[in-house]
């Protein structure tokens, strides 16, 4: 039986990559009983225990130390610790140091750090600049989660001259669907996260790429409009986020902008169903998973014109120029008043979101494994 070393270390950090890793692995295991999957991570994840072809291999060496050691000394590749596999798959941008015999596949989610230089801390910027270049050069095949990401990989690295890049879109799991929200469930979610009665939703990590100050300034323009719902900015604190809270305080929007923090996975479908619509004003998105999840719940979306967002939303959303505060405010106002338009977009959202699934993502990924002869 051929073996696939699957890097699950990204499951330790909540966010979009963790959601991708969890779902693509689960569906690979469901569909593929012909290979053994060695799950390389810091801790065992119980949800994968039921698969007979999933074997956990602990790997707890601190990444910062190891990556510096590999970069400067080129010694002791990961194979020395985890054993040899026919294929190493990284769903999180970068590969470890490996010997020359192991075939490799990586997933690139976006290259936003190359477009906006101050979007990351200095150490993260340096890490990605080196290791993504190394990984793209080393990888036998590169999975890009959208055509926008594939074009960026070609633009910055010229990586598709030998046709190594394949677009495989993400999906949304079956928990994301229209739900009937009873009074008790609504009160539970509202009290747990301190939510207002009606609200528009942003969901994502609080970091510069998400362009949250533009959303805050748009809310300021609409602050006197009682028909416009409050905004809930949900998600964990990432990096360089202080500006967001300072701006809310400066504009005196504390009663109109709400920060519930990170939302537990089991509550996300309820949160989407409770909101009026989703707003994602990002400066760049390789895919935009919250948009797909919201559409699966039958919600319309307002999105920026950057990255993969316009293609993902299709006819289900309103698109605005990413740095145009007035245009975003107009879009929010329009959606708050034009209920016929919102219902039309909500119907389109269900149709558009049906085009994406983790089942298809996994089957397309397995096709790559087959093409590599693994």
- What is the per-residue pLDDT across 336-351, written as a single tens digit (0 to 9) for each? 999 999 999 999 999 9
Q: Cα–Cα distance between 53 and 56 in angstroms, integer?
A: 10
- 145: three-class secondary structure by DSSP: coil
pLDDT, average across residues 25-52: 94
**Which residues partner with 232 through β-bridges?**
201, 258
Give the CATH fold of the 183-353 domain. Rossmann fold (3.40.50)
Give the other-Cβ count within 10 Å of 325's Cβ. 19
Q: Which residues pair with 165 in a beta bridge?
A: 142
Which residue is listed with tokens 């809930």? 232
Spell out a b/e string for 178-206, using b for 16 or more CB atoms within 10 Å of the CB, else e. Answer: eeeeeeeeeeebeeebebeeebbbbbbbb
For 151, the 3-state DSSP assignment is helix
pLDDT over 90 percentage in the chain: 79
d(CA 30, CA 51): 8
Sequence-separated (6 or more) residues with CB below 8 Å from residue 234: 193, 201, 202, 203, 259, 260, 261, 262, 263, 271
Half-sphere exposure of 71 (CA within 13 A, CB side): 17
State how far Cα 182 lies from the chain centre. 29
* Sign of the alpha-carbon torsion through 276, 277, 278, 281: negative
d(CA 75, CA 77) in angstroms, rounded, equals 6
Judge if 2-171+357-371 and 183-353 fold alike in CATH terms. Answer: yes
Nearest to 24 by CA among 136, 106, 133: 106
Q: Determine phi and psi for 346, rounding to 5 degrees.
A: -65, -40
Q: With cut-offs at 50, 70 and 90, classify the pLDDT of residue 83.
A: confident
Q: From CA 192, how far away is CA 198, in angstroms rounded?
A: 15
**To which H or E segment does residue 167 belong?**
strand 165-167
CB neighbours of residue 164 within 10 Å? 17
CA dihedral (339, 344, 345, 350) positive or negative: positive
Q: Contact, 232 vs 268, CB < 8 A? A: no
So what's the pLDDT on residue 299? 97
Classified as helix, coil or strand, 259 is strand
CB 320 within 8 Å of CB 305: yes
Q: How far is 338 from 351, CA to CA, in rounded Å?
A: 21
Neighbours of 116 (CB within 10 A): 13
- Whole-number Å distance between alpha carbons of 33 and 36: 8
Query: What tokens were used for 335?
Result: 């959606």
User: 307 and 282 in contact (C-beta within 8 Å)?
Assistant: yes
pLDDT digits (tens, 9 = 90+) for 179-221: 998 989 999 999 999 999 999 999 999 999 999 999 999 999 9
* CATH of the structural domain 2-171+357-371, one choice from 3.90.1010.10, 2.40.10.10, 3.40.50.2300, 3.40.50.2000: 3.40.50.2000
Residue 116, pLDDT score:
77
Tens of pLDDT along 224-250?
888 899 999 999 999 899 999 999 999
45-73 pLDDT, tens per residue? Answer: 989 999 999 999 998 877 777 777 787 77
Rounded to an integer, what distance in angstroms lies between the CA atom of residue 236 and that of residue 339? Answer: 31
Domain positions in the chain are 2-171+357-371, 183-353
Q: Would the pLDDT of 354 be above 80? A: yes
Q: Render pLDDT for 97-122 as a digit per residue (tens, 0 to 9).
A: 988 789 999 999 999 989 877 777 88
């Amino acid at each position: 039986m051929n073996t696939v070393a699957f890097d699950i270390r990204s499951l330790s950090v909540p966010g979009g990559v963790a959601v991708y890793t969890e779902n693509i692995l689960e569906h690979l295991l469901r569909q593929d009983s012909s290979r053994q999957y060695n799950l390389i991570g810091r801790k065992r994840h119980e949800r994968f225990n039921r698969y007979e072809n999933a074997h956990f291999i602990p790997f707890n060496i601190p990444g910062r130390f190891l990556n510096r050691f590999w970069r400067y000394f080129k010694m002791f590749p990961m194979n020395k610790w985890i054993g040899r596999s026919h294929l190493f798959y990284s769903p999180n941008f970068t590969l470890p140091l490996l010997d020359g015999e192991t075939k490799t596949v990586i997933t690139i989610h976006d290259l936003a750090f190359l477009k906006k230089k101050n979007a990351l801390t200095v150490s993260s910027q340096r890490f990605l600049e080196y290791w993504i270049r190394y990984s793209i050069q080393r990888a036998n095949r590169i999975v890009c989660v959208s055509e926008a990401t594939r074009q960026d990989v070609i633009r910055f690295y010229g990586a598709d001259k030998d046709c190594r890049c394949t677009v495989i879109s993400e999906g949304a799991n079956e928990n994301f669907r229209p739900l009937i929200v009873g009074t008790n469930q609504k009160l539970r979610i509202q009290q747990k996260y301190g939510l207002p009665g009606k609200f528009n939703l942003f969901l994502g990590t609080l970091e510069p790429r998400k362009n949250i100050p533009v959303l805050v300034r748009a809310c300021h323009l609409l602050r006197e409009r009682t028909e416009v719902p409050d905004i809930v900015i949900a998600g964990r604190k990432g990096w360089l986020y202080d500006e967001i809270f300072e701006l809310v305080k400066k504009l005196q929007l504390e009663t109109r902008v709400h920060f519930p923090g990170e939302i537990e996975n089991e509550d996300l479908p309820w949160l989407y169903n409770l909101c009026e619509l989703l707003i994602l004003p990002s400066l760049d998105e390789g895919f935009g998973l919250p948009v797909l999840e919201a559409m699966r719940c039958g919600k319309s979306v307002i999105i920026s014109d950057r990255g993969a967002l316009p293609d993902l939303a299709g006819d289900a959303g309103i698109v605005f120029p990413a740095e145009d505060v007035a245009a975003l405010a107009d879009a929010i106002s329009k959606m708050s008043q034009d209920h016929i338009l919102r219902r039309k977009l909500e119907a389109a959202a269900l149709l558009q979101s049906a085009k994406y699934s983790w089942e298809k993502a996994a089957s397309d990924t397995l096709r790559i494994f087959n093409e590599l002869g693994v």
